Structure 1
Amino acid sequence: MSEFVAPSVIKSDSEWRAELTPEEFAVLRQAGTERPFTGEYWDSAQEGVYECRACGAELFTSKEKFASDCGWPSFYAPLADGTVRYLHDNTLGMERIEVRCTACDSHLGHLFKGEGYDTPTDERFCVNSVSLKLRSVEQQ
């Protein structure tokens, strides 16, 4: 796993609660998960940059997004090294790799490797739509 880098955006739970919806807080700050096939971006093909909904850090782009049919937005790589960090996750009785925003330490989703997708990395960053905000090409 990657070396821990202290977040640059630090807020109390009460500050996060004031800025985020209850669903956003549950996912981003408490490592929850939205239901599959319900999120805003799971099947979006719109071009742009996906930012952390909590702090606005740029995390992924539509160029690395692919259709995995898993019910959540899937990316084969982050925008750049160091934009996300990884943690071991043993919840729910399975071994997984949690993905968090490096800038604010918000939960984004999980990383799965070696599933056989025809992508350059054979990795699937399975990210909650509620953790992201798309800045479309038109907005740039």
Structure 2
Amino acid sequence: MYRREFVTLSIATLLFGRAGFAQEVFEVTRTDAEWREMLTDLQYQVMRHEATERPGSSPLDKNYASGTYFCRGCDLPLYASEAKYDSGTGWPSFFESLPNAIGTMEDRKLFSVRTECHCRRCGSHLGHIFNDGPQPTGKRHCLNGVSLVFRAA
């Protein structure tokens, strides 16, 4: 019996990532109804349920104006335009976040291990961090544009 439960949890974890684990508590919290009211369907699915927008669908992917990218969920400054680059993936990409802006956790969905990143203040899903970015960090923060709001300098 114990073995069966372990296998079931392992498969659930591989398929669904956070299955069976406690959720982190964030400074900014809203009810599910409040999140649904303030976000479009796509924004809600990405930010609250870790969906992914289609590559090439965000106008922020090709935005190279000077400014700051903020969390759509709580307005926390997340990324400076100076850290943005064209990764060729179809998603806005940055080599680093602003200090104390994001949180990360291991994401084990679909039989792979990735680093998920989210807003440290409200927990909104932003995207994933990979080790194939440019110097000076070598990181690629591959983000969903719907999770971000850009404000020009």
Global fold match (TM > 0.5): yes
Matches within 5 A, 1:22-33: 22-33=41-52
Counterpart position of 2:136? 120
2:116 is aligned with 1:83? no
Aligned equivalents of 1:95, 1:5: Cα separation in 2: 19
Displacement of 1:119 after TM fit? Answer: 2.1
Equivalence for 1:99: 117
* 1:13 corresponds to 2:32: yes
Cα RMSD for the two superposed structures: 1.3
Q: In structure 1, what is the equivalent of residue 149 of structure 2?
A: 133
Contact 2:69–2:148, Cα closer than 8 Å, also in 1: yes
Report whether the alignment pairs 1:49 with 2:65. no
Largest Rg, 1 or 2: 2
| DSSP 3-state at the match of 2:69 | strand
| Structure 2, unaligned runs of 5 or more | 1-22
- What is the deviation of 1:5? 7.1
TM-score, length of structure 2 as denominator length: 0.82
TM-score, structure 1 normalization = 0.89
Q: Unaligned regions of 5+ residues in structure 1, if any?
A: none
Percentage of matched positions with identical amino acids: 37
